[in-house]
């Protein structure tokens, strides 16, 4: 398992993540989301809706190499295609794994 997935699980257990499309879009609109992570197998419509909101509100997002099952297992839930990180510290560290 990749290190950022462990960190994502820790952030979720600390209550610093939101899951579910409606919750993520609400957090993006209110600028609470510091990073949005999408599984690579997210549906086209969902991916477009979330990425468009992220671009409009200038919230960084990444499309992970992992599928929804792997991303869901990292946070202990099932069938989650997107996760918003609400803490700036966690978001910065997770983004560093995608940058390098």
Q: Mean pLDDT across the stretch 39-61?
A: 97
Could you tell me the pTM of the whole model?
Answer: 0.94
**CATH code for the structural domain at 3-99:** 3.30.1330.30
Nearest Cα neighbor of 8 from 49, 43, 98 is: 98
- Ordered by start, the domain boundaries in the chain are 3-99
Residue 1 has pLDDT above 60, yes or no: no
Alpha-carbon Rg of the chain, whole angstroms? 12
Q: How confident is the model over 59-69, as a mean pLDDT?
A: 95
Q: For 27-48, what is each residue's pLDDT tens digit? A: 999 999 999 999 999 999 999 9
Of how many residues is the chain composed? 100
Q: What 3-state DSSP class applies to 38?
A: strand
Write down the pLDDT at residue 96: 93
- Mean pLDDT, rounded, of the chain: 95
């Amino acid at each position: 398992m990749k290190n950022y997935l462990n960190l994502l699980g820790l952030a979720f257990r600390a209550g610093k993540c939101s899951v579910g499309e409606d919750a993520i879009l609400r957090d993006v609109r209110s600028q609470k989301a510091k990073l949005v992570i999408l599984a690579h197998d997210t549906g086209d419509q969902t991916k477009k809706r979330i990425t468009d909101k992220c671009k409009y509100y200038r919230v960084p997002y990444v499309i992970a190499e992992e599928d929804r099952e792997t991303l869901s297992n990292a946070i202990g839930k099932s069938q989650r295609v997107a996760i918003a990180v609400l803490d700036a510290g966690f978001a910065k560290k997770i983004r560093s794994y995608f940058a390098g």
